[in-house]
Homo-oligomer: A and B are copies of this chain.
Amino acid sequence: MKTTTEISTSPLMTSDQLLAHWQGHRQLTRRVIDAFPEKDLFHYSIGGMRPFGAMVNELLAIAVPGLKGIANGQWESLNEDIEVDENKPKLLGLWDQTTLDIDHWWAKLDPNGWQNTVLTFGQYEGTVLNSILYFIDNEIHHRGQGYVYLRSLGIEPPYFWEH
């Protein structure tokens, strides 16, 4: 049963806006991936951290499996072993497929389920809202690290504001 009540017609955020916010960030992340020379994308590292390509694999491993799990309640372990053969076009292709898949799975989320509790990947408990915010924040976090890698390589990163 769908319960209703009188509240303001001006919600803080709609589902469409959160999706657009994420996809906007993902467009910027795509530009950051593309700014790396292929070799550096998969091998360059600072302070013993992962190369940016490995961080991008993590983002790919979270986005669609995460949304799909929230939508249908079925979870597999987080699998970051995505085979991209150290090939930047292949990684960008997976990124673009993920863009489409996010739209697909987003449409299947329960529009009234944002405050429900989920255990993402069988281990991280939170509301649906906080889980998805985490997916986005984790991307911003690692992309910020990619900016340092690029600067350290003498490459000008995309401007942060323009997404």
A9 at the interface (CB under 8 A from B): yes
Copies, count: 2
A112 x B8 contact (CB < 8 A): yes
Closest to A111 in B: B8
> Are B11 and A12 in touch, CB under 8 angstroms?
yes
A94 interfacial by beta-carbon distance below 8 Å: no
User: Can you spell out 23 A-B residue pairs with CB atoms less than 8 angstroms apart?
Assistant: A2-B8, A3-B8, A4-B6, A4-B9, A5-B9, A10-B115, A12-B15, A12-B18, A13-B114, A46-B148, A46-B152, A47-B150, A48-B151, A137-B140, A140-B140, A140-B144, A141-B141, A141-B143, A141-B147, A142-B144, A143-B144, A144-B145, A148-B148
